[in-house]
Amino acid sequence: QRRRLAMGSFFVGVCMLMMLTTQSTDARITREDIRRAHLAVRERGGTSPRVADLRCEADSVPTAPEGAVKFFALGDWGVRGLDVGSEAQLDVARGISCAARANQPRFIVTLGDNFYPKGVTSETDRQFSFKFEEVYRDDALQVPWFPSLGDHDHLGDVNAQSMYSLKSDRWSMPRAWYVEVIPLANGGKLQLIFVDWVALEGRFSVSDNDRRFQNHLGEAAGKDTSEEHWEWLRRVTSSSNPTWRVVIGHRPLISVSARSAKDDERYPAEGRARSAIREFIEGADVDLWINGHDHTAQVACSERGGGTTHFVTAGIGGDDFHALRP
């Protein structure tokens, strides 16, 4: 009961706060490809069976400010059917369904580890239905979903998660890293930058045992891909000046979880990548970084020249919680 209450209350809080492999990842699907595929799937009746038997408590979610951009973030969630977190994923799905009915999100972002324990094998993998379409099926959740990748996703075919965009009517992931621009009511723009942390980490590996799952990572997480990803990230952050800039990645840049401190020692490449990404983010006028990986709920911030960068951890989509440092 405490777990459910904690999950529900934090998820609502984060939603309100954010109002403001082994395979190659080079299948760069266009947005027009995705748009046409989504329309075709909807004409066939959609991919997600609807649910009408959900009971929500009245007035359980505060009303959003007028004109706010409302979106949800879901991390570390694809555990249905496993020994850990299976029922919790369903609990969280019911919670965000109620939250969405009270404050309809414009879109939903995922923070990686979409499919435990080893990602997916192809775009027809049964997990897309069993852990996604059949779980998040309330009408209020039938909005665009913008996924990002986690380390467990890299144990499968990361390219397949992009290709699934052509089979779903809401999953929208043109490649492993990409940008979405959301127009604001006042004429401004919200820039969403989705990065692949595991790929960004590749350039910092200098030995055979300095990365998580190192023996299972392929070219999608290798040095060449990493260099390409970093060059892309520099380009997209220097070529535009949005009203708000939000970056979505899997692992935390600031964390007080017990595992985070140990990870930097156990996986030195991860520690080097964390320092480099944080330095880059704080120097690129990023307003908000959102991550999963740590199965905790955290909010932090750091001052930068001309503003503040906020850091939100929301890896509580279903898997068991991680402890915080004393």
Sign of CA pseudo-dihedral 236, 237, 242, 248: positive
Q: Say yes or no to pLDDT of 22 above 50.
A: no
User: How much is the pLDDT for 259?
Assistant: 87
Instruction: Say how far apart CA 225 and CA 25 lie, in whole Å.
Output: 9
Please, are residues 292 and 315 in contact by the beta-carbon 8 Å criterion? yes
Mean pLDDT value across residues 205-210: 94
Model confidence at 31, pLDDT cuts 50, 70, 90, reads confident
Instruction: Say how far apart CA 143 and CA 139 lie, in whole Å.
Output: 9
DSSP per-residue letters across 110-169: E-S--STTT--SSTT-THIIIIIITTS-BGGG-S-EE----TTGGGS-HHHHHHGGGTSS
Counting residues of the chain whose pLDDT is more than 90, the rounded percentage is 70
Q: Say yes or no to pLDDT of 189 above 70.
A: yes
Whole-prediction pTM: 0.89
Q: Say yes or no to pLDDT of 273 above 70.
A: yes
User: How much is the pLDDT for 26?
Assistant: 57
Model confidence at 326, pLDDT cuts 50, 70, 90, reads confident
User: How much is the pLDDT for 269?
Assistant: 96
| Lowest mean per-residue pLDDT among 6-15, 40-49, 139-148, 212-221 | 6-15
Which helix (DSSP H) or strand (DSSP E) does residue 71 occupy? Answer: strand 71-74
